[in-house]
Structure 1
Amino acid sequence: MASLKSLTKTLGGKDIWMLTLGKGDAESKPAIAVVGGVEGSHLLSVEMALRFAEGIISDHSDVLDNTTFYVFPNMSPDAYEQYFAALKWERSGNARPTDDDRDGRLNEDPFDDLDGNGMITWMRVEDPTGDWITHPADSRIMIKADRSKGEKGMYKVFTEGRDNDLDGTFNEDGEGGIHFRKNLTYEYPYFVAGSGEHSVSELENRALLDMLYTKWNLYGVFTFGPGNNLSSPWRYNRAGASKRVVTSILNDDAGLNKYLSDIYNETVSLKNAPDSGEQGGDFLQWAYFHFGRLSVGTPGWWVPTVKDEEGQAANKDKNREVNFLRWAEQEGLTNYWVDWKEVNHPDFPNQKVEVGGIAPFVMNNPPLAKIGDAARNHTDFIVKMAKMQANVQLVNLKTEAVGKGMTRITVDVYNGGTLPTHTEMGTRSRWLQPVKVELSLGNGQELISGRKIQTLRSLDGDASVQFTWLVKGSGTVKIQAGASHAGVDSQTVNLK
């Protein structure tokens, strides 16, 4: 039920794996792609994709009778390995050397571990010209001063390091590389650090897209990553949908997204999701706007909202970092916070400089013990979605002798699934194969009325279209209807 292949190797020498889950002729069945690692620092997405594959094989193998899954567990293995390195920092880019500050030199101003703890956190510098203050609910957390409220900045805040190239900017040209989710074609962010010289410039991006475009049986893409249109669905915007280059989900697809979102929230029961942080090149958006498939995604987990306890300063602005610290303390976690520690900094003589903050990776990647339930719930949701897939059938077949050796054939092409055969975007793009309805004649047979081949651009769930032919002759004819991503059905008809 499972087969594994490497699509390519990254510049860092890491495999980009593709795991196919299916029974029999898997390529002929409607399919869903499950993709993890679209953001290198989001380790959880890789684990969720792998646990999904394990859950399908061990607990839901029956779904493979009708659906194939292509699992791409880690699209950012070069960045992912930073978690296991001696110096830990939240990395998003691959192993390609980049000149992020465009000064003609590569990787000359990386992070520096000033306090020697093996982690890159933050650096705050006491300075009355700064824009930052401590949070009123937790002085460990730094926030921007709001001048409209009379707040005055007391600090400048930087990532931990030195200005190694003496250009006045800190850590702007380290081992950044190219970010997978900045290197796609939808709203590609030109001339932005991490986006690459052009869209799909990277081996891993090219390998995935090349593979997806060969899979005509794919109708849906599920992405584990920062993007999230399941906790809160995308909303239709008429102006964005009317542009030549569409920037809003289309109206029918918005309704479909809302329907799936409701089921997701019932199945997973995670509330108060953080902002999805989508950006140009985001894979979740690419799969919908440029690939035309049903595209849904979620981080898979986030820190629950903690209520203010009695005697505790209120977290009035619902600051995520304050909430995280309170949750971590309730859970008894360790190594999630680095206390602010004063250091001597050559770039700030005669100023107080401290290094500290929330440890890398911990806010978006829970302790391993907390992943089990989340993984099972998400696997259950994807299975539910698979069982709603389009299912083209030929029903209500009727034949009638009308004289002079002619037979009238009538049949309904019916979508027995809940999901439509095509998203509205897929229909608009004209890239997805239409539903093909074909009548195959034998020797000595003649088609009097109707067409041998007809197509449907889309067929809603639980909807049908009737077809009629008039055939002269004897023997049998064959009717076949469907598309590789929506199922195919056939019937043999005896002429009267």
Structure 2
Amino acid sequence: MKTILIFIFFLTASSFDLKANLESAPSLITKSFTTSLGDEGHLWEVSGLPVDDSKPVIFLIGGLRGDEPYSVAAIEHFMINLDQDYRNGDDDAVELLSRVTFRAIPGLNPSGLKLAAGIPAMFPWNGVSWDDDGDGFKDEDPPFDLNGDGVIGSVRIEKPWGEWKEVLSKDDLEITKMKKADFVKGEKGGWILRDIEGDDSDGDGLYGEDGLGGISLDRNFPYNWQFPYSNSGGGPFAVSESEVKFVVDELLVSPEVAFIVNVRDLGAGMAYPMSNESSDKTPQKDKKIFEAIGERFKQQTPYESFFMAKDGPESWSKKGNFLDWAYAGLGRWSVSVGLWGLPKEHEETGELIFEKAWHQVSEKEWFDVVGYQDWTSYKEGEESSGWPIYGRSRIPDGETRLTGILDSWLKSLVGELPILNIAIEESERLGSETVKVKLRVWNSGLLSTDSDMSSRIRESSNVWVRFPESDSMLVVGLPQINLGSFAPGESRSWEWVIKGREKIEVSPTHPRSFVNSLTIDPKEIK
């Protein structure tokens, strides 16, 4: 039986001591890469025997943003503990790693993490200076907390020609919303609204639009990358950042990658591609499989939500994102998993649960937990408001309840993969040394050997069966049989006429599937 390789990819955690983790597991590091700013990242691997490249891969990637430290901590915890269990002879770990290998890049974006550790706000970038507003200057006009309330929110300015009007919340919340006035209906405006709180530091008439470090790794992947979208953080061209190039190069030369998981700090659930900004749609055959994966995910984790990525956090569905490239560009089964939302405790067990995904939580629920800074003045006629960064945009520092939250599910991924079996369906003796056999191969796993999307983009790997080199001779039939792709439960058959008395071993081959072999003994065929 072939072994599966699970590849895990996460962002560096600023809230945890990465150096200590590296020192505790130096033997896990197999490769290193240098970021665009010169920082070092690492590829980890945990594997059992046999250690070779014949094992298929499940590739997990997370922490693409500078403000996603918990995804790194989750993977480092998983990798180190699995390695320790294996070295201590734990039966479950030995069995698991006899079938799969786990690889991880715990920090794809170490440069961004270092910078984000000192910024109490969202920071999706990798720290590379970028001219977001196209004025010839870089990072010169960052957002700024004008009224000192700890929130970088929106700004409204009272002007008689303003198009915006106040709308009181329907939830009895201390929130005053803004809505464009319908002047045809006789509504009055009176306010100008700016989305981002900040000064116009560069005098270009825009506010807080060009902050520190403007390239987002999760907008720099080659699928659906578009210019001039780079002015919104995608970089000067696709795969311009060395961190992204490392990932793309690794996956392009890894046909054994069977399944990819993109772990995020925010989200509180599982999402599947495609995004609302993608040019393709998820094929219905793949969607059904994704839905089955999501149901099993909900059964094995505290998360109760499964959704399409376009319906999740806004940052998951930008052009050039990793998830869409992994699925629609590379052609591999891929999902995203978000760690954090609005947490609750189970009434009976006290365990942490997330009943809703991050984006499904209402403003009323967020208000009850983290509050809201309503409009306050910082200058005559000018006010700002918004949600606190921690609670809605970042995981609170020191949160410990996420430790190990994905461990059991990550281990269970081995059960998702395709399993190719082979058996003799019919047999007949034609002579003293000649037999005819009808062989059948079927997939008893939960995944197709390749997604329907991979076939569409011509990135699928067909299942082959080859007549083995031996003293026996193939009289009738093709020595190499191309069986194509296999959906769960699908089977195909063919016939061979074989001359000889020696036993031969036959097995299907596919780089991303478990395979079982069959021994044919001509002497036993009647």
1:323 corresponds, among 344, 350, 365, to 365
Matched, 1:387 2:412: no
The alignment yields a C-alpha RMSD, in angstroms, of 3.6
Query: Helix, strand or coil: the match of 2:129?
Result: coil
What is the Cα deviation at residue 302 of structure 1?
0.9
The CA deviation string for residues 19-68 of structure 1, in whole angstroms up to 9 with x for no partner, is: 22221225322221111112333333333333443454467624222122
Q: Distance in 2 between matches of 1:211 and 1:375?
A: 28
TM-score computed with the length of structure 1 as normaliser? 0.81
What is the Cα deviation at residue 475 of structure 1?
2.8
What is the Cα deviation at residue 470 of structure 1?
0.8
Tell me if the contact between 1:30 and 1:66 (Cα under 8 Å) persists in the aligned partners.
no
Match of 1:223 in 2: 262
Tell me if the contact between 1:39 and 1:226 (Cα under 8 Å) persists in the aligned partners.
no
Identity of aligned residues (%): 22
Q: Distance in 2 between matches of 1:130 and 1:465?
A: 66
**CA, structure 1 residues 295+154, in 2 after alignment: closer, same or farther (shift >3 Å)?**
same
Give structure 1 stretches of 5+ with no counterpart: 307-316, 330-336, 345-350
2:294 corresponds, among 261, 276, 282, to 261
Match of 1:311 in 2: none
Query: Helix, strand or coil: the match of 1:225?
Result: strand
Q: How many residues align?
A: 463
Match of 2:217 in 1: 180
What is the Cα deviation at residue 205 of structure 1?
0.7
Match of 2:135 in 1: 103
**CA, structure 1 residues 105+190, in 2 after alignment: closer, same or farther (shift >3 Å)?**
same
Q: Distance in 2 between matches of 1:57 and 1:207?
A: 24
Matches within 5 A, 1:85-96: 85=118, 87-96=119-128
The CA deviation string for residues 385-418 of structure 1, in whole angstroms up to 9 with x for no partner, is: 3212112233347764311632223432232322
Q: Distance in 2 between matches of 1:46 and 1:153?
A: 47
Matched, 1:457 2:484: yes
Q: Distance in 1 between matches of 2:335 and 2:268?
A: 6
1:352 corresponds, among 364, 368, 381, to 381
Query: Helix, strand or coil: the match of 1:362?
Result: helix
Match of 1:164 in 2: 201
**CA, structure 1 residues 108+405, in 2 after alignment: closer, same or farther (shift >3 Å)?**
same
Query: Helix, strand or coil: the match of 1:451?
Result: coil
Q: Distance in 2 between matches of 1:286 and 1:142?
A: 40
One-letter amino acid of the counterpart of residue 425, structure 1: M
Matched, 1:73 2:90: no
Give structure 2 stretches of 5+ with no counterpart: 1-24, 86-91, 346-358
TM-score computed with the length of structure 2 as normaliser? 0.77
**CA, structure 1 residues 153+387, in 2 after alignment: closer, same or farther (shift >3 Å)?**
farther
Tell me if the contact between 1:224 and 1:299 (Cα under 8 Å) persists in the aligned partners.
yes
Tell me if the contact between 2:274 and 2:282 (Cα under 8 Å) persists in the aligned partners.
yes
What is the Cα deviation at residue 220 of structure 1?
0.5
Matched, 1:472 2:499: yes
Match of 2:4 in 1: none
Q: Distance in 1 between matches of 2:181 and 2:110?
A: 42
Tell me if the contact between 2:433 and 2:501 (Cα under 8 Å) persists in the aligned partners.
yes
The CA deviation string for residues 183-233 of structure 1, in whole angstroms up to 9 with x for no partner, is: 112221321221112111111111001111222211100111379796566
Tell me if the contact between 1:230 and 1:257 (Cα under 8 Å) persists in the aligned partners.
no
Tell me if the contact between 1:111 and 1:120 (Cα under 8 Å) persists in the aligned partners.
no
Deviates more, 1:151-160 or 1:173-182: 151-160
2:439 corresponds, among 411, 429, 441, to 411
One-letter amino acid of the counterpart of residue 64, structure 1: L
**CA, structure 1 residues 276+105, in 2 after alignment: closer, same or farther (shift >3 Å)?**
closer
